[in-house]
Structure 1
Amino acid sequence: MDTRGRRAILVVVAALLMMSSAAPSAVAIEQREEVSYLRGPYNIAFYHRHNQAFRISSAIHFAHAKQHDILQLTPFGRHEEADIETDAEYLACLYNPPRTEPTMEYFGPYTARFAFNLYRAIDWTHMHHEQTYDVLSEKSIPWSQKGEWTDRSVRYYLEKLDVPRSPAPLDVTMRRAGVLMKPYSTLFRNYYPRSNNFFYAAHWWHPVIYEAMMLGGNDQEQEKMVKETDSTFYSQVIHNRPLRMLLSREAMPRYSRLSPESANIFDNLHMLHGIAYDILSYDKWTPEEKRKELYRVIEAMSYQPGDEKLARKFTLPHPDMDPRVYSGWLQGVQGDMNRMMEEMMMEMMPVMMPGGMSEEMKKKMMDQYRKKLAPGMQEGEIPGSIHDAMKQLMPDMKMDPESMKPGVAPTKMIEAMLKGWREKYGSMPDVSSISMTGDPTPPSLPPGAVKPMSVQDVTRP
């Protein structure tokens, strides 16, 4: 081999060594297969018809991407300062939103180096968001055919990549994930409440935009509905953010009847965001250990054969809600998400406390649990995660040490929770479908429901 050949080999070896030393230790290199969006007459319709809303979505996804690296790279002791700084940055982005949609790696490059499959799951589902917004936005698709084109998008999403979120309700997939008694659960909402509640506001916005289009129909009333809903976001919601993660069935009941699969897919994505942020907040695991747990959760909450049969297993607490009206029931801690969380805790209790507990202890336990479910740290709340609080209250609680390890499923707890769901809801009737035979007429807006925006147009050039 001549000198030039040896030099080329040395350069390649040196480059590989530099790459390996820069990457988190002991994490295998992952293949990055990607699949593009499904072609159709609706492609990019949301961008063109509702550009302000498209840019709001882009700002939200900027924040989602950046949050991963903030949590992974910031010492936990700096959580309060980091929370203030990042919330300010997210708001600045929201008031000057990007013109294009970022992928997760673009603003969260460090986490991509050890957990790229997390980003594949998120970006693939964001693609489904875009496709389903596009279908509703496209005027050339008759209103009566919106469901067919949406179903086509759902099939493509579930079949073409190996990381789709499940079309089963979150009630099922959250139980399959088995995260409640893991050592990280609720750390993000308790210690980064501003950032957490920014995402709670974002998860109000995403579903209500579907609902605005469902009420607006195909004609110019759709633009009016979307703009008025955006106005509510800026003038009310972002200043008084929800204190829980809203579910699709609450914030887009009509769209949930049109496509329960998509509705559940989005709930499962939004919950994955929160679980991932909890895991990345936890400073007692290495990147490799976090990767194991992230991938376990991704798999547990992914599409499994038969999930589609469960897609309509939910009720609609507010079937006639108006997306432009920020009602009081949307704002507090109590709602379907935390109802589900309380059910899960009670289903696990016989496994953790086989000897039972007194009514007084049960009251203390549920009081601490509800404090943990609320953002921030409440007066009298035990520091740390749900696991930390429960162990301090009930030191005799039975926990399998193996199941607390990263990447290991707490099988007994999962089985108990799924059994509980089947007993409560397994035979419930499916939520009904919605008629799409005629273009809808938006309801009258109550006086004063939509306040003037604090800025005339947040996305002017």
Structure 2
Amino acid sequence: MSLRTQTSRRPLVRVLLAATFTCVVGSVAASASAQAQAGKYYEQMYLPGAHSFAFNKTYPRASYLFNAFDYGHAIMYERMWRSPMTAARDLDGREYDLLTKSLLEKPPHVPLDEAAVGPSWALLAPETLAMFSWAHMLHRQLYDVLVHDAGKPAERDAHVADLVRYYKTRPALAFSSHPKDMNLMEGQSYSLAFRKQNPKFNGLVWSYHWIQMTLYDAMLASDAKADMDVNVNAVVDRFYEMTRGGFAKLPTVMPMSPAIAPDFSTRYPEAAIIFDNLHSLHDVVSDILANANVPRDKKRATILEASAKYRDSTSSVTTVEEWVSMGHAMGLTQQGGPAPLPRRPAPKAAAPHKHPGS
């Protein structure tokens, strides 16, 4: 797989990376204690296999979008933490325009370093950033498996199980595979602040979550490679309809896997729950940073407390059945709608995998 950047087409990305690298160098000395804590959260390589990078090689149009998403998540937190007085204006203004009119239209061909894009945010809560990065790696590897093992359900299931098992070997970073109730995201004193302050950028982030999950159902709908090609392109096209159509086309509630990716959620419930918990914590961190009632000197502790709850399997846990019901109760249309699947179904549906906690 080639990960080379076409430098003649990437002047914007080069400027961003150069500028943010400078910020990193200047910020390190100011946050020695946070950096020391981050040292406990060492980087770890993905689980290598024959499937590695298959998605990027086969579907670069979809894969490159995730590099732009990395920028979107990082700049959202960076603006709110470093420049709280202007964050609301900038995120729903120039940053929203940059993403929808430039970065998403011509996304970077290589993954961006979120700590370079958001150096102040990375030093505020490196533990939570590491959680996000570890889960994003699982996302990318699952796409690889679904592409590589198309038409081989037994091998695909075994490789998915291997990846989830490997993901869980890092309890300091791994999201719980038990579903969390909605109160953890929407019932706290700081909840809902970001979606009220920045409805456009919030909807844009939810569109990221929509495509991340609907791609799974697009790839599972048929074992035929030609069908998968059509379905993946249809999902990407629908995503662009959302982002090019303005605020009115974006999801108005957080997309949940049981509603927008029912096939994936039935076959691989642990992975789907991990991703719903990931997406919920993204919202929680946004709310904590946006809510002025959380004092600045308490934001790190509040983020880490919330992060710990999303890792454990005891606090705010609900049942798998309630998770599925909750996803459907929130309204499929409001979540962005189902995956458009022009080609389905060819194979017989796989037997549901029983969740360990069910």
TM-score surpassing 0.5? yes
Could you tell me how far apart the structure 2 residues matched to 1:230 and 1:145 are? 26
- For 1:115, which of 125, 131, 148 is the aligned residue? 125
Partner of 1:355: none
Cα deviation for residue 58 of structure 1 reads 1.6
Q: How does 1:58-73 map to 2 (within 5 A)?
A: 58-73=67-82
Could you tell me how far apart the structure 2 residues matched to 1:285 and 1:227 are? 42
- For 1:22, which of 30, 45, 48 is the aligned residue? 30
Do structure 1's residue 201 and structure 2's residue 115 form an aligned pair?
no
Change (3 A) 1:306 1:136: farther
Q: How does 1:159-170 map to 2 (within 5 A)?
A: 159-170=169-180
Partner of 1:253: 262
Given that residues 216 and 223 in structure 1 are in contact (C-alpha distance below 8 angstroms), is that contact kept between their aligned partners in structure 2? no
Given that residues 256 and 327 in structure 2 are in contact (C-alpha distance below 8 angstroms), is that contact kept between their aligned partners in structure 1? no
Cα deviation for residue 436 of structure 1 reads 2.9
Do structure 1's residue 126 and structure 2's residue 132 form an aligned pair?
no
- For 2:191, which of 185, 188, 209 is the aligned residue? 185
Could you tell me how far apart the structure 2 residues matched to 1:317 and 1:276 are? 22
- For 2:334, which of 328, 332, 335 is the aligned residue? 332
- Counterpart of 1:133 in structure 2: which amino acid? Y
Do structure 1's residue 436 and structure 2's residue 350 form an aligned pair?
yes
Deviating beyond 4 angstroms after TM superposition, the runs of 4 or more aligned structure 1 residues are 18-21, 284-288, 305-313, 316-319
Could you tell me how far apart the structure 2 residues matched to 1:128 and 1:332 are? 26
SS of aligned partner of 1:228:
helix
- Counterpart of 2:257 in structure 1: which amino acid? S
Change (3 A) 1:179 1:290: farther
Do structure 1's residue 158 and structure 2's residue 165 form an aligned pair?
no
Could you tell me how far apart the structure 2 residues matched to 1:318 and 1:302 are? 20
Cα deviation for residue 160 of structure 1 reads 3.2
Partner of 1:47: 56
- Counterpart of 1:210 in structure 2: which amino acid? Y
Bigger fraction of residues in helix:
2
Give CA-to-partner distance per residue, 1:23-56, whole Å, 9 cap, x none: 38x7572113121111222111111111111011
Could you tell me how far apart the structure 1 residues matched to 2:204 and 2:214 are? 16
Change (3 A) 1:237 1:305: same
Do structure 1's residue 269 and structure 2's residue 278 form an aligned pair?
yes
Could you tell me how far apart the structure 2 residues matched to 1:191 and 1:66 are? 16
Could you tell me how far apart the structure 2 residues matched to 1:224 and 1:116 are? 39
Change (3 A) 1:51 1:193: same
Cα deviation for residue 81 of structure 1 reads 4.3
Q: Indicate the structure (1 or 2) with the bigger Cα radius of gyration.
A: 1
SS of aligned partner of 1:76:
coil
Count of aligned positions = 309
- Counterpart of 1:160 in structure 2: which amino acid? R
Give CA-to-partner distance per residue, 1:296-322, whole Å, 9 cap, x none: 111101143799995565436999xxx
Do structure 1's residue 315 and structure 2's residue 321 form an aligned pair?
no
Give CA-to-partner distance per residue, 1:233-262, whole Å, 9 cap, x none: 112465211111010001100000110001
Could you tell me how far apart the structure 1 residues matched to 2:326 and 2:154 are? 26
Q: How does 1:79-158 map to 2 (within 5 A)?
A: 79-91=88-100, 92-139=102-149, 142-158=152-168
Could you tell me how far apart the structure 1 residues matched to 2:199 and 2:315 are? 36
Give CA-to-partner distance per residue, 1:212-235, whole Å, 9 cap, x none: 001132522111110111111112
Partner of 1:298: 307
SS of aligned partner of 1:42:
coil
Given that residues 96 and 201 in structure 2 are in contact (C-alpha distance below 8 angstroms), is that contact kept between their aligned partners in structure 1? yes
Partner of 1:348: none
Change (3 A) 1:204 1:179: closer
Give CA-to-partner distance per residue, 1:332-384, whole Å, 9 cap, x none: 3899xxxxxxxxxxxxxxxxxxxxxxxxxxxxxxxxxxxxxxxxxxxxxxxxx
Could you tell me how far apart the structure 2 residues matched to 1:278 and 1:306 are? 20
SS of aligned partner of 1:29:
helix
Could you tell me how far apart the structure 2 residues matched to 1:285 and 1:64 are? 21
Change (3 A) 1:42 1:154: same
Could you tell me how far apart the structure 1 residues matched to 2:252 and 2:51 are? 35
Given that residues 167 and 307 in structure 1 are in contact (C-alpha distance below 8 angstroms), is that contact kept between their aligned partners in structure 2? no
Partner of 2:44: 35
Partner of 2:17: none
Could you tell me how far apart the structure 1 residues matched to 2:52 and 2:266 are? 23
Cα deviation for residue 65 of structure 1 reads 1.4
SS of aligned partner of 2:168:
helix
Point out where structure 1 has 5 or more consecutive residues left out of the alignment: 1-17, 320-328, 336-433, 438-461
CA RMSD of aligned residues (A): 3.1
Could you tell me how far apart the structure 1 residues matched to 2:199 and 2:27 are? 36
- Larger CA deviation: 257-266 vs 137-146: 137-146
- Larger CA deviation: 34-43 vs 72-81: 72-81
Could you tell me how far apart the structure 1 residues matched to 2:260 and 2:176 are? 19
SS of aligned partner of 1:33:
coil
Percent identity of paired positions between Structure 1 and Structure 2: 24
Structure 2 length-normalised TM: 0.77
Structure 1 length-normalised TM: 0.61
Cα deviation for residue 161 of structure 1 reads 4.8
Partner of 2:237: 231
SS of aligned partner of 1:233:
helix
Change (3 A) 1:305 1:169: closer
Could you tell me how far apart the structure 1 residues matched to 2:324 and 2:107 are? 35
- Counterpart of 1:436 in structure 2: which amino acid? A
